[in-house]
Chain A
Amino acid sequence: MKSKKSVLQKTVSIVHDGKLTQEEALKALRVASQSATEALPAALGKCTTDEERQKVMTDRDLVVLAYLNSLQKTLVQTGALFENTAINLETEAENVRRKAGALTDVTDAINLLTELIRLAASLALAFG
């Protein structure tokens, strides 16, 4: 009873505001879906026939599906934002690795030059 009242209050508040944002609408559907699911054990407990039980379950399922359907639609919108964030982060990891690589390259170049000079010295000794 309490949760039913709470859902009702939420709905009234949304209507009173005059603005219904997407997340508020999704939340309202989710709360309705949760309330229907929470009410299931008591409602099923009161049923005496299979038909009654099936009716209770069908009513609950319809509310849950309304929520799941809306959730899926909003996921399509925000999914791209996550994909972009992942791509940006991957690019950043590459950039940072390139910076680290450039630092090693300098030392590697000096070491290579050192080796070349040592080689030249040994050749000079051989032909000297």
Chain B
Amino acid sequence: MNANKQIASIECTITIVMSLLLIAGLLSACSGINIQAARNLSATGKNVALQVRQNIFVSDDEYTRARDGEALVHGFSGTTNSDLYAKILKDYDVIHQELAKRTIVFESLADVYDAFGELAGLDAGAQTEQALTNLGGAIEEYAKQIMQPSPIYKDTTAIISKVGGIVAAEIQKAKIKEASIQIRGRVEDFQKLLGNKLVREQMTGFRQSLTTVKKAAFTLMWNQGVYDPKPLLDDFGTDAGLVAKKEAAAGIKPNTPLGNALLEVLKKRLAIKADLIEKSYDASLKALGSLISEHRKLEQGEPLDLNRVQAISAELRSIAGMLTKVKADLSKNQ
């Protein structure tokens, strides 16, 4: 009787192991997926989404300064009661709010990468293997309690657990591949949307316009002779280790050759910001393109080159830094 039970037990064990091996075999097409690479890609993807968001939208500070610029030029021209001025401010607000709504797409993209990280972050193989080992132990314990031979031998429990772990890992890889394909499709759609010429003009054009208002307000103030140009004069003397005389700045008047020369320098510095707005947008599109390319590699089981994406992300950060530096340089000269 016991011998029959043992034979049945062995048969049962073999059936389970064979079934698991069959499932593992069916899923082995996904074994090229590198789970660790998927984890790294999810972290990089989130980082890119947040960095791009920071780079292509008008910051609150930028927006406030542009509104201040409008106030200044209207105050100067005595048109603060003008309906046109009120309409400009109202339109600015509506447009700024409308564009700000678009930041939600970047938050959603970051969230998708968070979810991808959750999927890749699981250690399904090891967890399932441990769970099956525990299950085998529990069955054996139960059999002992009811004075029956264990339906599965201890040695085969280890095999089942191992194969079960492999199956779980393969299932996870299959799900990662499927998720990567879906996410790639969404990122491709998003890249196309941001690359749309009209969208690009809307996003970068409004920002350029705000920069122009700030520049006009600054120039108006410069022409009134309210700024101390000494820091700018000192900048020119830096290489020679010289600083401008204390009284030199006082001698520089607007609309004189030297006044105009310094104004031109400042205008060119401000113009850098306008170039950076376009550059920043291009770098953002490039970053999304790199993410798409890394997803493809992950799906094909090729090694990822996340350094490339990280380099573009660093470029984005550097542009954001340069935009701030232009602001800092100007503040220094004010």
- Which residues in A have some Cβ–Cβ distance to B below 8 Å? 21-23, 26-27, 30, 33-34, 37-38, 40-41, 44-45, 50, 53-54, 56-58, 61-62, 64-65, 67-69, 71-72, 74-75, 77-79, 81-82, 85-86, 88-90, 92-97, 99-100, 102-104, 106-107, 110-111, 113-115, 117-118, 120-122, 124-125, 128
Q: In the complex, A113→B27 CA distance in Å?
A: 25
Residue in B73, B79, B104 whose beta carbon sits within 8 Å of that of A58 in the complex? B79
Question: Shortest beta-carbon distance, B297 to chain A, in Å?
Answer: 19
Q: Complex formed: what's the CA distance from A44 to B77 in Å?
A: 7
A sample of 8 inter-chain contacts (CB < 8 A) reads A34-B212, A65-B84, A75-B202, A88-B186, A95-B179, A121-B138, A122-B145, A128-B145
Ranked nearest first, the 4 interchain pairs of A and B with the lowest CB-CB distance are A89-B108, A61-B84, A96-B115, A57-B77
B→A interface (CB under 8 Å): 73-74, 76-79, 82, 84-85, 87-88, 91-92, 94-95, 98-99, 101-102, 104-105, 108-109, 111-112, 114-116, 118-119, 122, 124, 127-128, 131-132, 134-135, 137-139, 141-142, 144-147, 168, 171-172, 175, 178-179, 182-183, 186, 189-190, 193, 196-202, 205-206, 208-209, 212-213, 215-216, 219-220, 222-223, 255
Known: A104-B122, A117-B138. 15 other contacts (CB 8 A): A30-B205, A34-B208, A40-B73, A41-B219, A41-B220, A65-B88, A72-B94, A74-B202, A81-B199, A93-B111, A96-B183, A99-B179, A118-B141, A121-B144, A124-B145
Cα A37 to Cα B213 with chains together (Å): 6
Kindly provide the distance from the CB of A30 to the nearest chain B CB, expressed in whole angstroms. 5
Q: For residue B120, which residue of chain A has the nearest CB?
A: A100
Cβ contacts under 8 Å, A33 to chain B: 209, 212
Interface of B is mostly: helix
A4 to B219, CA, bound (A): 18
Question: Could you say which residues of chain A place their CB within 8 Å of the CB of B95?
Answer: 68, 71-72, 75
Which of B101, B145, B200 has the most chain A CB within a 10 Å cutoff? B145
B122 touches A103 (CB 8 A): yes
In the bound assembly, the distance between CA atoms of A82 and B5 in angstroms comes to 65
Query: Do B216 and A82 touch (CB < 8 A)?
Result: no
Inside 8 A of A110's CB, which chain B residues have their CB? 128, 131-132, 134-135
Contact pick for B202, options A26, A54, A113, A125, CB 8 Å: A26
CA A107 to CA B79, docked complex, whole Å: 71
How distant is B48 from chain A, measured CB to nearest CB, in Å?
14
**In the assembly, what is the distance between CA of A26 and CA of B135, in Å?**
68
Q: A40-B220, A54-B77, A118-B141 known; A30 and B135 CB under 8 Å?
A: no
B274, closest chain A residue (CB): A34
B104: chain A residues at CB < 8 Å are 82, 86
Quick check: B131 and A114 within 8 Å, CB to CB?
yes
Q: Is A79 a contact partner of B209 (Cβ separation < 8 A)?
A: no
Residue B223 contacts which of A41, A71, A107 (CB distance < 8 angstroms)? A41
